[in-house]
């Protein structure tokens, strides 16, 4: 029998090598067709007496990343359609659909012949669950091999047997830690947890897998044998009596109760370990069906799985533009930001010219890359040879003539219009025709900067976030005259350095910084009201923000906030800034000389390590303090999320963000907006625009006019619209095509 996605070759020992290699796909993913073919292979193996066992592997450099986008989207579409027609039947269909993969893996596990999974690269989600259902697991020791059940990061959980097999193989604490955080395991760590049997050299992977079968591997899972006990003895043991009362409390401490899927993992494991394995799978299937119907799961999967992949694959790339061949990039400004941009560019294999005012300054910028490389080698993330190759791709120089053959030049100099104007003129004097110039400005409008250019059609903004090597987002900013070619080149470059792009139209602060500034401004309001600083920070974290606004302000630098406030006043007048905010920040900078983490004192104190940072006690003396019982923490949470979401809605209304996917992905990757909401606009859609407008009107009455809902929001509330309905990204894509 022939298959579209698999080849099956049986050797002289009767061992069938099943190789998964989907045509026209860079990575194997699960589709309905793939699962149908796996089921046919299982049936064929069982029916063929000549086959003694199966080795299941991948024909690609990675094993599998899990489910296909279309399959996930189809599941949600089915739920919505069935809910409209027959709500009760919708849940049953979802329950049956949720169990398809789980029971197929169980069929492999109980087919009567031994299966060994030979893992040769990334093995995530359902693919790792398939491997766990095999009777043997062998992994290559290559650095590219990563194993994980990361579903909780997109609002769901391992629902194809993961919550039942992992705690029956590994000790319960490690199992819970792995699944509730979605952590990635090395082959060595997976072996230590008993999730993998052998770790071998890459060229020994298939021979080792076949040898397991030759050595008499039993075609029976441990839990199907009489007398099986889970590691540590299961639920009713002294160790479990210590673990289980603490586990929900620890989870709540880490998630503030915002992630239903993480709690469902605890329930699945706790209940599942008390019953026979098949009953445990049913319990898992029930909880998975419940979680998939939550707003959190829908929003997180849409933004963090579907939308992110679509943006990474060029959803906003202009049609008709040929793929750019970026052979050389210039970076002007060898400060920390520019040097880091040069590093990520060289890490993508692209030669870089790093320019500064003199050789000493340019060499100092190269030193940033050398330090990053040294750290990566020390952590085992880079080999010495790869590190040396990366550094060799960066040429530090003060000579602008070195840009004469660059395809793209990125300016990363001081946030000053005159300084940038001088750089633009120097670069354009040598830059070849058709090359693209990009500014890394964080606040200055691109259209204004492009007025200094002789070719504004080739002028664009590419805004990086610090630290560049860690932050996955870039904002690509269109000036009024920016052409399609410039946008295509910018997006191709961002794809090459493996960042996620969002495309925004020009405005002061663009998208991310506008939202971040609102977040920090709300914390200023709270301080002025007398809310204790520790309550401000904790309320933000309870709301789902990874970093409190005062801590974030320290990271950004308080003196930078002061410069932004002064620049806003200079450009837009005094009424553009809250005078109380200016007074607060001016006092921190001018009187207290507290600039943030960079000088070891800001809203927090930063003692020498290993001591941890702590809120500066003097902050409480700025304003009369309220008593804790006078402050409603839930309202503080609402204020933080609503003020950011309102700003995101304003950018949509102003046409700055035209695609809701970008507002959502940008808000999560850019500053960590409560990921469980799916992003700033999904937060509004999730509760309903009408409910959000009512919340804003209440907050405006109690805390100021900056909470007043915009005309667009009021109109959408009246019409019962959503952002994804009104600004349908897929409708736009069809029209563009």
Residues that are catalytic: 463
Report DSSP state, residue 676: G
| Complete DSSP assignment for 18-37 | EEE--TT-SS--B-HHHHHH
| Pairing mode, strands 198-200 and 604-605 | unpaired
For residues 346 and 369, is the Cβ–Cβ distance under 8 A? yes
Residues 375 and 373: their CA atoms lie apart, in Å, by 5
Q: What are the phi and psi torsion angles at 289 (to 5°)?
A: -60, -40
Q: Of the candidates 493, 450, 500, 495, which has an alpha carbon nearest to the alpha carbon of residue 471?
A: 500
CA distance 362 to 383: 25
Report the chain's terminal Cα–Cα distance, integer Å. Answer: 39
213-244 as b/e: b if 16+ CB within 10 A: beeebebebebeeeeeebbbebbeeeebeebe
Burial environment of residue 608 by CB neighbours within 10 A (0 to 12, 13 to 18, 19 or more): exposed
Contact 709, 697 (CB under 8 A): yes
Q: What is the rounded CA–CA span in Å between residue 502 and residue 659?
A: 9
**475 with 316: CB under 8 angstroms?**
no
Distances (CA, A) of 512 to 448, 504, 507, 595: 19, 10, 11, 22
**Residue in the block written with tokens 């705690």:** 167
In the block, residue with structure tokens 């670069």: 427
Rounded Cα distance, 437 and 721, in Å: 39
* Nearest alpha carbon to residue 267 among 284, 245, 291, 282: 284
Which residues, in sequence order, are bridge partners of residue 6?
20
């Amino acid at each position: 029998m022939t298959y579209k996605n698999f080849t099956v070759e049986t050797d002289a020992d009767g061992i069938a090598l099943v190789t998964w290699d989907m045509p026209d796909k860079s990575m194997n993913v699960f589709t309905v067709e793939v699962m149908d073919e796996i089921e046919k292979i299982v049936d064929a193996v069982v029916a063929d007496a000549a086959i003694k066992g199966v080795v299941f592997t991948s024909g690609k450099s990675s094993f599998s990343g899990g489910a296909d986008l279309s399959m996930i989207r189809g599941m949600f579409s089915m739920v919505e359609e069935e809910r409209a027609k027959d709500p009760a039947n919708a849940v049953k269909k979802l329950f049956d659909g949720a169990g398809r993969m789980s029971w197929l893996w169980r069929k492999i596990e109980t087919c009567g012949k031994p299966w060994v999974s030979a893992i040769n690269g990334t093995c995530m989600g359902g693919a790792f669950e398939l491997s766990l259902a095999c009777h043997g697991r062998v992994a290559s020791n290559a650095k590219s091999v990563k194993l994980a059940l990361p579903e909780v990061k997109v609002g769901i959980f391992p629902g194809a047997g993961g919550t039942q097999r992992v705690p029956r193989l590994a000790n319960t604490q490690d199992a819970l830690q792995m699944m509730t955080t979605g952590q990635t395991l090395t082959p060595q760590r997976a072996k230590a947890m008993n999730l993998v049997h052998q770790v071998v050299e890459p060229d020994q992977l298939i021979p080792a897998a076949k040898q397991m079968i030759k050595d008499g591997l039993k075609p029976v899972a441990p839990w199907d044998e009489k007398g099986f006990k889970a590691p540590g003895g299961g639920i009713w043991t002294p160790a479990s009596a210590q673990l289980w009362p603490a586990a929900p409390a620890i989870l709540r401490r880490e998630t503030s109760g915002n992630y239903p899927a993480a709690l469902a993992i605890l329930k699945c494991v706790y209940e599942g370990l008390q019953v026979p394995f098949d009953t445990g799978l049913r319990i898992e299937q029930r909880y998975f069906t419940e979680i998939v119907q939550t707003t959190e799961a829908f929003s997180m999967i849409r933004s963090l799985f579907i939308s992110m992949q679509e943006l990474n694959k060029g959803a906003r790339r202009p049609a008709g533009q040929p793929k750019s061949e970026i052979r050389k990039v210039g970076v002007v400004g060898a400060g920390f930001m520019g040097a880091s941009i040069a590093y990520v560019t060289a890490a993508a294999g692209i030669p870089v010219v790093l320019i500064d005012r003199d050789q000493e300054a340019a060499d100092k910028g190269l030193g940033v890359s050398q330090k990053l490389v040294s750290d990566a080698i020390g952590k085992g993330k880079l080999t010495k040879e790869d590190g040396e190759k990366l550094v060799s791709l960066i040429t530090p120089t003060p000579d602008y003539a070195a840009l004469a053959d660059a395809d793209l030049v990125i300016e990363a100099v001081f946030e000053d219009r005159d300084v940038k104007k001088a750089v633009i003129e120097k670069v354009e004097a040598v830059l070849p025709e058709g090359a693209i110039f990009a500014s890394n400005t964080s606040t200055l409008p691109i259209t204004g900067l492009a007025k200094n250019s002789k070719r504004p059609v080739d002028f664009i903004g590419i805004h990086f976030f610090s630290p560049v090597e860690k932050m996955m987002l870039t904002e690509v900013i269109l000036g009024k005259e920016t052409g399609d070619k410039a946008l295509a080149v910018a997006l191709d470059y961002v794809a090459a350095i493996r960042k996620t792009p969002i495309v925004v139209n020009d405005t002061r602060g663009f998208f991310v910084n506008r939202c971040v500034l609102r977040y920090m401004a709300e914390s200023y309001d709270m301080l002025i009201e007398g809310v204790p600083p520790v309550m401000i920070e904790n309320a933000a974290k309870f709301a789902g923000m990874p970093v409190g606004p005062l801590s974030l302000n320290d990271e950004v630098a308080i003196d930078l906030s002061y410069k932004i406030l002064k620049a806003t006043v200079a450009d837009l007048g005094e009424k553009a800034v809250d005078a109380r905010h200016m007074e607060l920040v001016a006092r921190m900078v001018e009187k207290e000389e507290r600039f943030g983490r960079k000088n070891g004192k800001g809203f927090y104190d930063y003692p020498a390590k290993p001591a941890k940072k702590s809120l500066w006690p003097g902050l409480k003396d700025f304003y009369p303090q309220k008593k804790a019982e006078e402050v409603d923490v839930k309202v503080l949470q609402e204020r933080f999320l609503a003020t950011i979401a309102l700003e995101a809605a304003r950018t949509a209304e102003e046409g700055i963000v035209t695609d809701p996917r970008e507002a959502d992905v940008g808000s999560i990757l850019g500053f960590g907006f409560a990921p469980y909401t799916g992003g700033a606009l999904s937060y509004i859609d999730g509760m309903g625009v009408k409910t959000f407008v009512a919340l804003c009107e209440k907050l405006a009455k109690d805390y100021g006019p900056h909470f007043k809902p915009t005309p667009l929001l009021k109109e959408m509330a009246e019409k019962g619209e959503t952002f994804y309905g009104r600004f349908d990204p897929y409708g736009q894509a069809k029209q563009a095509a």
